[in-house]
Amino acid sequence: MVVHLEVGAGLIKDIVKAIENINEECVWTFDSQGLHIRMSDIYKYKMLDIKIDSEDFISYLCDAPVNLGIVIDRIKDVTKTLKTKDVLILHSEHDDKDITSDNFITLKSNGLSRTVKLIDIKMISQVPSLADAERSLSSGFKTHVNSLPFKNFLKAASKAIAFDVGVKDGNLTLSSKTDEGLVEVEYSNEDITLSPLSYQGTTQYSVKEIESATSTMKGHVNLRGCSIEQGGLIEIEWELLPKSTIRALVAPRE
C-alpha cells in the first residue's frame, strides 16, 4: 500500500485547524476517492465529517484503502511552518510482510522532512453513527445561508454561554443575551428559503461549542436543525474547495 500526495498550504492548514478544535486524535482514511476524516470530541458533543476529494490535492496516489491513526499536533509541527504558496508532501507505505512499516508517515516541505509516528486506530474512540443523526435532522428544517453574518454573530456573542436558533414564518434568527445586551442576526424569508416553511421551533446551543466546530467555516453553508424532541442537533456544512467539504454536527445545550 502506498499513499503519496501533494497538498497546498491553505488546504492542509484548514484541515489541521478544523481537527485541533475538536480532538487531538483521529483516523485519516485514504482511498482512491481521496481523504475522509470522521471524528468527535471526547464527550461526543460535536462531530466533524471531512471529505477531501482527490482532485483537490495538487497530486494524489492511493493504491489501496488504508486507515491511519493521527495525532494532529505531530502534523501541525510541520504545517505551522508553511507559507501561503508552499506545498506539503505526505508519503506513507505499508508492507504486509513488515508489521512495523505503517507506524510512520513522512511529511516534507521547503527542505524540511519529518517522520511522524502514527498511533493504533484501536486506541481512538469510535465516532457515533450518522444514521441516528440523519433520522433526527430529516424531521427538522434545512436552508442555505451566507456564513459571514453567522461568524460575526458568534464573535459578538463570544462572552455569552449560549444562543438560540429560532425558526418561524420562514425566518431564521440567531439570538443571545450578553451582559452588554442582546446580540441578534436574522435571515429573513426574503434572503433564504427554509424547508419546510411550516417548521417552527427554538433550540439552544453553546456558543463555544459551535464556534470551535465551525473554525474554518466560510462562504455559503448548508444548515439543518431539529427540535429538542427530535434530538436538537444542528448541522452546518461548507466547502473548503470545490469538491471538498466539512460537515459539523453539534448537540443542543442541556
pLDDT at 1: 86
CATH architecture of the domain with residue range 130-250: Roll (3.10)
How many Å from the N-terminal Cα to the C-terminal Cα in the chain? 45
Buried b (16+ CB within 10 A) or exposed e, 216-238: bbeeebebbbbbeebbbbbbbbb
Minimum mean pLDDT range among 121-130, 153-162, 230-239: 121-130
98 pLDDT more than 80: no
What distances in angstroms separate CA 235 from CA 71, 154, 156, 248, one per listed residue? 25, 16, 21, 6
CB-CB contact of 236 with 217 (8 Å): yes
- Residue 68: CB atoms within 10 Å: 22
Query: Which residue is it, cell 471531512?
Result: 50
Compute the distance between CA of residue 160 and CA of residue 107 in angstroms, rounded to an integer: 40
Whole-model pTM: value is 0.94
Compute the distance between CA of residue 206 and CA of residue 162 in angstroms, rounded to an integer: 4
Give the pLDDT confidence of 164-173 residue by residue, as tens digits.
Answer: 999 999 999 9
What mean pLDDT is reported for the chain?
Answer: 94
The domain limits of the chain are 2-123, 130-250
- What average pLDDT does range 139-145 have in this prediction? 97
Give the pLDDT confidence of 17-74 residue by residue, as tens digits.
Answer: 999 999 999 999 999 999 999 999 999 999 999 999 999 999 999 999 999 999 999 9
As a CATH number, domain 2-123 is: 3.70.10.10
The helix/strand count (H/E) of the chain reads as: 5, 17
